[in-house]
Structure 1
Amino acid sequence: MPAVPNPRPDGPVVPIQDSGDSLSGRMLGDELRRFRERRGYTLADAARVIRASTSKVSRLERGQNPVKYRDLNDLAMFYGVSREDRAHLDQLHQQVGNEDLFQRFNDVTPAFFKRLIRLERAAERITVFEPRVVPGLLQTEEYARALVRLIETDRSERDIELIVRLRRERQLMLEGEFPILAALIYEKALYQPYGPGGMMAEQMRYLRDAAKNDKVSVRILPEHLICLPTPIFHLRFPDGEHQELAYVEHANSANYITQRTELDRTRRQLDNIRHNVYGREGSVASLERAITYWEQAAAEEQPG
């Protein structure tokens, strides 16, 4: 598993260099080459495993191409990498992903948000409760764009597009083994009109499909219940001194919760929400109702 970064609010944000191949990428490539050579395999052997060319494998080992998590997993299994060494490879892969995001989106990524991205990618499980919007890790591109335009009123169109791309690329981490995402969403949030009916229907269909996924749990809190007005984020890590933390994200900052009493309180709040949400079938049914609502709205928006 990836090493757990220090989750303290005053923890340093490591500066990211903005030129050249990332150090973590070169280190990851070196490690893959070392494991391959130790087993006596050729570049062609590795290429067949990940269904690629030998030149691509060579670029991966030199840190010139990013390593997809699927390819890393296939190569590690093929090389017979030990559990301890695999944890080191996963850590390097995690760092490469962070550096790549920060390099490409540095001008629209504040320091507090870089820290959040690091924490998300190191987490084993993420639980989020959202009373007003669809959680960022489950937003469609059009829904995310509408929200960013609503919130970031002083941003240029270029910046808005960069922020949307960053939000979508954060979602790629869900394709790996970890983190596992549990999204608890207040039913009223499904009916907040952040855009035209067609866009909202597309977002609800995306959520419905996610709700059927074993890795991403989506549960809906019935609208007749009174709920907390603010989002709650809880992250659990596989090891390290701090195995869990919670945070509340604001427009321009984030408050971290690491003290035991506050963590216990936050966990109890989430447990209470979990106790009252619909199960999987009920949540899917709730999302189906929202889909029908927005599809009807989209039809009414059509001229004539």
Structure 2
Amino acid sequence: MAGSSLPRRALGRTLREHRIRAGKGQLVAGLHIEISPQSVGRMEDGRKIKISTSQIRDLLDFYGITPANKERDEILALWGEVKQQDQAAKMQGTTKGWWRSYSDQFAAHFDHYLDLETAADQLTTHQLSLVPGLLQTSGYRRSLTIAADPDLSAVDVERRLELAARRQVALDKDRFRMKALLSEAVLRHQPGGPAVMADQLRHLIAASERGNVTIRVVPFSAPAPLGLVARSFALLEFPPLASRLVEPPVVYVDGYEGALYLEQSDVINRHRRAIAHLEQVALSEDATGDLVCRIAKEHAE
């Protein structure tokens, strides 16, 4: 968990809730502890800023969270956890996410997703047209990369493939679990041609043999396909913090021009219901394996 964003995100969310409850704006909060309102916003978004323990204490006083309030001790304990992880990350040389060295190769919004994906211990994804990034082969990823940007240099293509490969190390993490619910269309599209797709499907079969990866296909014949309404999304869930706080899940929805990060409890619950419905109509893991094998052979012919 060294370098994890979870404690910082939990601290930021807690401070935002108390600021709003106290009826304070980011401008006056920043003025009170001599930082900019933009810094207050970044802190509340779970991003790293320069701030001291004394400033955190002053902010809590400003929000009316006095030493007599037990929440104060909980918040300061969370702040201690943030500092501890910062120190551990510094000792390990991981003060920044490893992916930031590839920042010229992905959209600005994807930096936040990679931060979340690195911290998550469970990922449930529903995909209507594409194989999830963590399960893509290099040939499949290459075809998508070139299709999205035909003028990309060979060097940049290779760097993007390297980024994709490094992301897939997540599958080897302790306690990480991935569940992929894929439309049958994902298996039948042919990015890069039939040979590339046949290899990709064989890779899915191999990935499904991992103890921490579940892949199930929602066939075209599935009744009442709620997935067509819910569309593609990923639900990221996180392990409990050392302070026993639980960081809420995040639904990530990627689009051609940007992305959405959704944390509202009603939104999370709707997506959980969509997942439950998809699991009801999806093929079993064994039937999924049979279908993937059959379509892989069709692509290879």
Q: Place the TM-score, normalised by the shorter chain, in its bin.
A: 0.5 to 0.7
Shift of residue 12, structure 1, vs aligned partner: 5.8
Shift of residue 259, structure 1, vs aligned partner: 0.7
Write the letter of the residue equivalent to 2:155. R
Write the letter of the residue equivalent to 1:101. W
Counterpart-to-counterpart distance in 2, 1:197 and 1:118: 34
Matched, 1:258 2:263: yes
Tell me the alpha carbon deviations over residues 158-213 of structure 1, each in whole angstroms, 9 at most, x when there is no partner.
22222222111100121111421111111121010112222111100000111122
Q: State the partner residue of 1:281.
A: 286
Write the letter of the residue equivalent to 1:234. L
Range moving further from structure 2, 145-154 or 186-195? 145-154
* 1:35-54 pair list within 5 angstroms: none
1:167 is aligned, of 155, 164, 172, to 164
Q: State the partner residue of 1:52.
A: none
Tell me the alpha carbon deviations over residues 190-246 of structure 1, each in whole angstroms, 9 at most, x when there is no partner.
010112222111100000111122111111111223332621110111124532111
- Give the superposed CA RMSD: 2.9
Identity %: 25
Q: State the partner residue of 2:184.
A: 187
Counterpart-to-counterpart distance in 2, 1:178 and 1:126: 11
2:216 is aligned, of 216, 219, 229, to 219
Q: TM-score, normalised by structure 1?
A: 0.66
Shift of residue 13, structure 1, vs aligned partner: 5.0
DSSP-derived class of the 1:218 partner? strand
Counterpart-to-counterpart distance in 2, 1:94 and 1:180: 25
Shift of residue 109, structure 1, vs aligned partner: 2.8
**Any gaps of 5 or more consecutive residues in structure 2?**
14-40, 50-80
Contact kept? 2:252, 2:260, Cα under 8 Å: yes
Range moving further from structure 2, 225-234 or 277-286? 225-234
Q: TM-score, normalised by structure 2?
A: 0.67
Q: Aligned residues, how many? A: 225
Write the letter of the residue equivalent to 1:173. A
**Any gaps of 5 or more consecutive residues in structure 1?**
16-83, 297-304
Q: State the partner residue of 2:16.
A: none
Matched, 1:233 2:234: yes
Counterpart-to-counterpart distance in 2, 1:154 and 1:12: 36
DSSP-derived class of the 2:9 partner? coil
Contact kept? 1:183, 1:217, Cα under 8 Å: yes
Matched, 1:247 2:252: yes
Contact kept? 1:94, 1:121, Cα under 8 Å: no
Q: State the partner residue of 1:102.
A: 100
Write the letter of the residue equivalent to 1:191. R
DSSP-derived class of the 1:228 partner? helix
Q: State the partner residue of 1:272.
A: 277
Tell me the alpha carbon deviations over residues 271-297 of structure 1, each in whole angstroms, 9 at most, x when there is no partner.
11111111111111111111111111x
Counterpart-to-counterpart distance in 2, 1:233 and 1:218: 14
